[in-house]
Every structure is written in C-alpha cells, then in structure tokens.
Amino acid sequence: MVITDRNDLDDQLFGQFTRCAKFLRQQAVQAESRQNLKELLEGREANGIIFTTMQKFSDGDEPLCDRNNVIVMVDEAHRGQYGLTETIDENGKVSIGAARMVRRALPNASYIGFTGTPISTDDRNTREIFGDYIDVYDMTQSVEDESTKPVYYESRVVALHLDEGALGRIDAAYREFADQADEASIEKSKHDLGGLDAIFDTPETIDALCRDIVDHYENNRADVLAGKALIVAYSRPIAMKIYYKILELRPEWKEKIGVVMTMSNQDPEEWFDVCGGSTHKKEMERKFKDDDDPLKIAIVVDMWLTGFDVPSLSTMYVFKPMKGHNLMQAIARVNRVCKGKEGGLVVDYIGIAGALKQAMKDYTNRDQHNYSNMDIAATAYPKFVEKLDVCRDLMYGFDYRKLIFTNSREALADAIAEGTDWLLEPKRHEDTENFLKQCQLMNQALSLCKSLVSEEDQHEAAYLSVLRVQVLRLTGRKGNGGGGMTYAEFNKRVSDILEQTVHADGVINLFDKNSVEISLFDEAFLQEIAGMKEKNIAVESLKRLIKEKVRAYQRTSVVKAQKFSEMLQNTLNSYLNGMLTNAQVIEELLQMARDIMKDRDDAQKLGLNDEEMAFYDAITKPQAVKDFYNNDQLVAIARELTETMQRSATIDWQKKESARAGMRRAIKRLLRKYKYPPEGVDDAMDTVMKQCELWADTKIEE
C-alpha cells in the first residue's frame, strides 16, 4: 500500500507505477473511498499494489486488514503522518494522530517512510514512527548519479533598495510564519504580520522588483534551455501586481507570462480573468511543461512549489520568505535533469541566504561541504574567470584581442578565420584538445553567472566559443552537445558574432548539412578552398568533406569505400608525419575530391543509379575483368545483379547460412549466364558477395 497526503501526489505516483506495470508484473489500483479501500484489501492473500491517501483513514474500531504480510510505503513521511498519540486542546476536544489511525487500520503491517526532506536532530517524529534510517540518498550522490543538478544562488536584494530596518523585519517574518505548509495558515500569519506589506506591497518595491526581473531574465535567462522561469510571490495580491506590472513593462509578453494560484469567491473578478478555474490551471501546467509553448514565466505563491517537475525549468525568482524543508522543496523545482542543463539558478530578492544555510545543517556532512554555499559570486563566477584565463593561456602566441574589440566586422571575421587556423596547426593538437575542454567548462560557468560578467569578458568568451565550434565542426565533431556547446543562450551569442562577419561565409557554409554534396562537386568551390590563406582550415575543410563522402560510400559501395578510405588515410598519415606540406596535402585532397567527382560523372555516363554503380564497381574491381567484357555487358550484369538482390533478398538473409547459400546460388546462376568470373579472377565472387551483404544491411536500416 502506498500512502500520500495529497490527491495530486497520489495521482502522480499512481501514474508512475502504472507506467511500470510490465516490470511490476501487475497493475496498481487506486482506492476511491474508505469503503473501496476495505474492499480492495478483503480476501486478498498476496500481491496487489494499492494507492490511497491519508484522508481515507479514520479513527474506527475495526481494522481494515489484520494480515502481517502488508507493506505500507508512506511518501513525504516528514509531513502529515505524525501523531501516534491522542491530543486534547484547550476546549477538551480529543484529536487522534494520523499515524495512529493508520496503525489501527493496519495493525500488523510493516511500515517504510520516504522523505525528500532531511529530518533535523531537533525533530525526531519521523524516526519515532518509522524507525532509524534504512538508507540515505543525499544531494551529493544524486548529483554524481546525474539524477539531479546542483542549484546555484544569486542575491539581488540590493536591487530593491531596502533599508536595514526592512531587512530585519523580513528576517523576523521567517521565524514567525515561513514554516507554515498550507496557504490558509500563511495568509493568516501574513495578516498578523501585516507590517511586511508596508515593505513588499509598495509601488516602489513592486516597480523595482519587476524591472530587475525583466532585465535579468531578458539578458541572462531567456535563452537558457527553453527559457522557463518561476516567480515566487509573497502573497496572492502581490502576485497579481507583479503580473500587471510586468505586462505594463512588456505588453508583448501576454502569451509569455501567467499566474497560477488558488482562488476564492471573494477574489476580484479581474483575477479570475487571469487565473481561471481548475481547467485553466491544468492547461497552464500543460503549456508550461511544453518547451515549445510561448508560456515561459509563471508567477506562483504556493502552487507548483512541491511535486511539480519541469526538467527544462532552470530559473526561480524568489520574492517570498521561506525556510527549512519548504524552502528546500521549492528550490528543488529547478534541480531536475535536462539535456544541456548545468544547474538551476535561484535569484533571491528577499534575503533567503541565511535560511538556505540553516536548512543545509540538516543535510549530510558532505552535502553541507559541497552545497552550503552555492552563491554564483563564490562558485560559478570564479570558475568562469579561471577557465577564461586558461583559454587565454592556451591561445598564447595568437593575439586575437587586438582584432575582436575594434568594432570592425572585417577584423572580427579575420580573427575567427585566423584563430581557427591557428588552433588547427597539427603541432598544437594537444593544446587544442585541452582548449576545447576548457572552453566548454567556461561556457558552463558563464551560463550560471552571466549577470556578473562584464560585456567585454562575455564578448571574449563568445569569440573563443566560436573558435571551439569551428574546430569541432571542421574536424567532423558535433558543435552542440556531446562535447559541444550546451546552452541555447550561448548559441545565440555565438550566432550574433558570426552574423557580424562578412567574409568568413565560405567557412561557415561548410557546416550546412546540405552543402557537403554541393561543395564537393563544385570545382569553383574547391578552387576557393585551395586559395585560402588559412591553410589549416583548408586541409580540415577538404578532409571533412571527403570523410563525409567516404562515410556515404560505406553505406553503398564496398569498393569505393575501401579505395577512398585508404587514399585519405595514407595522405593524412604523410601529412601528420611531416612528409607533406600544407600546400601538398591540399593538392592531394583536391585530386581525391576530383576523383570522387569523376566517379559520379562515370555513373551518369553509364546510365546507372547508385545501387547499380556499386555492383558495377564490385564486378569490375579486378582490372583483368575489363579485358573479357565490353562496357555494355558489364552494365547489363550490374543491373541484373541489382534486380536479383531486390527480388531474392529476405529479412536477415545474410545472417542465416541457408539463406546465404541460396542467395549465392542465385547470384552464381546469373553470373554463369555471362560466364563470369573469367578464369584466373576467382576473388571477384567474394567482392560481389560483400557488396550484396552491404546492400542488404543498408536496406534493413532504411
């Protein structure tokens, strides 16, 4: 039995178990009522996974089930499951603890509790009810396992211009009400501490807050992953004021920003127009979880701060006092794993740094050591500065700074081309590989601390990243993910720099997916490459284009794949061993490109498609063959071979010996018709069979 204390958690966990039904070898069921729960338990001797909420238990005399082979799993064990004893209030009303009610209903069950919130030494309720820890899976292990990402912190309290007295009153608010778990209790506490409204709810504070959030988001976070962000507001009225103020500043954000909060009948009519009912909230959730949806920013008060997972969510703006497990659960919204995500960022406008440090005291020693201070000013920014300096050192000998800060497009284009060429020098191979790694680490740090980095350093980092992308792509490696740039905002920055260049287009165009075929078969383009002053770029460009074609041959033609692969490898070995100069290797690569062009032209002259040409190459690989047949005969054999393969091949024929034998017989019958192979050319049959197998493999992949 899996017990939670909220319907949404019950539904969430039930859905996860349902998706794992095949692994569990049974289908989980969800109790609809206390009576239904009893019916699900009665008569069941073994097996079964039942989901229910705490509210379905009451102080009844009769147990729901007295079997001793029931295991109760309690999620969020730090919250509503407390209370094994009766309590009596000042009016004499007796209350029964939730834990006691569950144990009366299931007296002989075994209990295991799960909590994502550490239990402090001052609070032993959870351990009294569930016993000592069986296992602790801490933040450090979770990050190492890549189950979560680190959460970083940025303080922008100063942007609100609050005085010391105001900050002191905010601090007092933490002690008074920040531990409350439900919105009603929080609203009551806020009413009791109404003085805080004089700080948070002034037009000046709201204006300063919204202007800073808009500026910070646009300049630093809008292009991180999908650009998703939460704004956590102090109260519902303030949430609405933030919404209206941001739309006043950015009217075009109507589809980009929304409010998600509970509503009551006493709320103003205009609030309902913005927040809607339950159907609207579900639609908002769907839109926010869709990375491609225009909705990017959600303003919340308490909703979505627990049990709400959006992997691409990377930014949280906090304008609400929180502490303890409520604070830790809230900021965990930005720690979910997503491709390209270095970590989540919490931007603090209310002074939660002290509360964060206090909350960390309940975590393991290594968590406290690793994550007690995640301020970007003390973590990401120093890392960025360090890696930028390392990249500068690795570029020593090429003075790019005099070119990239001149406001000249031509100079920037030269800096990109010359810097790329400099890195591609074979003697710098080890330093270049190190540069690629260090530049990636620099980018990752910058994605978190961009708001602290000067425009000049951002520009320099973007330039270095352009070089990194150029080298990766020219050497046939990916420039995004898998060792490439991982952040959308940095891709945008790189694009901005590339757009400023004027005559680097010839190199940039090499990266277009559609340009490989066109470029390799364009004599003018090949001559343009040959005439480049950046000879290392020319070598890498030609090498990459030829490698692309060799890879294509490896899917279609056994003969040409082997021929051009060997030619390319021999040429590159001679180049790397110093036996060929830049000019010589470029000439050899150009000749290889022209040979590939000739191959295409030969196929057109013979009237053969790619498949037929591959079989033509296979049967003519032994040069002696052409002494026995004219071209018309060889073309006829190639076409009939292709037709025979298409007609006779069955699924996985090349993996079954009987099918292989049958295919070989069919091919031999065809070749015998043409008296092929001629005497003394016995190895021709092996080449033909290899081509047949390659043809079959390619068809299966398609």
- Tens of pLDDT, residues 233-268: 989 999 999 999 999 999 999 999 999 998 888 889
Same domain, 266 and 163: yes
Higher pLDDT, 587 or 91: 587
Distance CA 162, CA 154 (A): 17
Distance CA 40, CA 416 (A): 70
Residue 54 lies in a domain: yes
Same domain, 236 and 369: yes
pLDDT tens profile 600-610: 888 888 888 88
pLDDT at position 162, please? 65
Higher pLDDT, 669 or 153: 153
- How confident is residue 19, by pLDDT bands cut at 50, 70 and 90? very high
Average pLDDT, the chain: 79
Using an 8 Å Cβ cutoff, are 347 and 316 in contact? yes
Beta bridge partners of 96: 86
Using an 8 Å Cβ cutoff, are 553 and 561 in contact? yes
Distance CA 372, CA 374 (A): 6
pLDDT at position 653, please? 64
Beta bridge partners of 485: 480
Same domain, 453 and 528: no
pLDDT at position 464, please? 93
Same domain, 93 and 239: no
Average pLDDT rounded to a whole number, residues 291-300: 96
Position 151 pLDDT exceeds 50: yes
Same domain, 544 and 438: no
Higher pLDDT, 130 or 244: 244
Beta bridge partners of 86: 96
Same domain, 416 and 440: yes
Q: What are phi and psi of 257, to 5 degrees?
A: -125, 145
pLDDT tens profile 371-389: 767 889 988 999 999 999 9
Q: What global pTM score does this model have?
A: 0.67
CB neighbourhood size of 371 (10 A): 20
pLDDT at position 438, please? 95
Number of domains in the chain: 5
Residue 665 lies in a domain: yes
Q: The domain that contains 262 carries what CATH number?
A: 3.40.50.300
Residue 434 lies in a domain: yes
Q: Could you tell me what percent of the chain has a pLDDT over 70?
A: 78
Helix/strand/coil percentages in the chain, nearest 5? 60, 10, 35
Least confident of 298-302, 306-310, 312-316: 306-310
Residue 140 lies in a domain: no
Position 683 pLDDT exceeds 90: no
Using an 8 Å Cβ cutoff, are 352 and 316 in contact? no
- How confident is residue 480, by pLDDT bands cut at 50, 70 and 90? very low
**C-alpha distances in angstroms, 124 versus 74, 143, 532, 604?**
17, 27, 73, 82
Q: What are phi and psi of 113, to 5 degrees?
A: -110, 145
CB neighbourhood size of 196 (10 A): 20
Name the H helices within 83-218: 98-105, 125-130, 139-144, 164-177, 183-192, 197-200, 203-216
Q: Tokens for 138? A: 């801490």
Same domain, 7 and 87: yes
Nearest CA among 323, 343, 307, 395 for reference residue 224? 343
Position 209 pLDDT exceeds 90: yes
Same domain, 33 and 91: yes
Residue 630 lies in a domain: yes
pLDDT tens profile 588-603: 888 888 888 888 888 8
Position 486 pLDDT exceeds 50: no
Position 189 pLDDT exceeds 70: no
Place of tokens 């420039």: 479
pLDDT at position 517, please? 40
Same domain, 260 and 113: no
- How confident is residue 520, by pLDDT bands cut at 50, 70 and 90? low
Burial grade of 89 (CB within 10 A; 0-12, 13-18, 19 or more): exposed
Q: What are phi and psi of 609, to 5 degrees?
A: -85, 180
pLDDT at position 542, please? 77
Nearest CA among 383, 347, 342, 378 for reference residue 490? 342
Using an 8 Å Cβ cutoff, are 337 and 347 in contact? no
Domain containing residue 23: 2-135
Q: Which helix H or strand E contains 392, and what residues bound it?
A: helix 380-394
Using an 8 Å Cβ cutoff, are 465 and 490 in contact? yes
Same domain, 276 and 395: no
Same domain, 259 and 387: no
Using an 8 Å Cβ cutoff, are 373 and 348 in contact? no
Mark which of 571, 591, 606 sits at the end of a domain. 606
- How confident is residue 487, by pLDDT bands cut at 50, 70 and 90? very low
Residue 465 lies in a domain: yes
Higher pLDDT, 555 or 156: 156
Distance CA 536, CA 527 (A): 15
pLDDT at position 127, please? 65
Hey, CA dihedral for 175, 178, 182, 184, is it positive or negative? positive
Least confident of 270-274, 580-584, 611-615: 580-584
Mark which of 309, 343, 373 sits at the end of a domain. 373
Residue 333 lies in a domain: yes
Same domain, 201 and 337: yes
Mark which of 558, 588, 606 sits at the end of a domain. 606
Residue 647 lies in a domain: yes
pLDDT tens profile 618-637: 888 877 777 788 888 889 98
- How confident is residue 701, by pLDDT bands cut at 50, 70 and 90? low
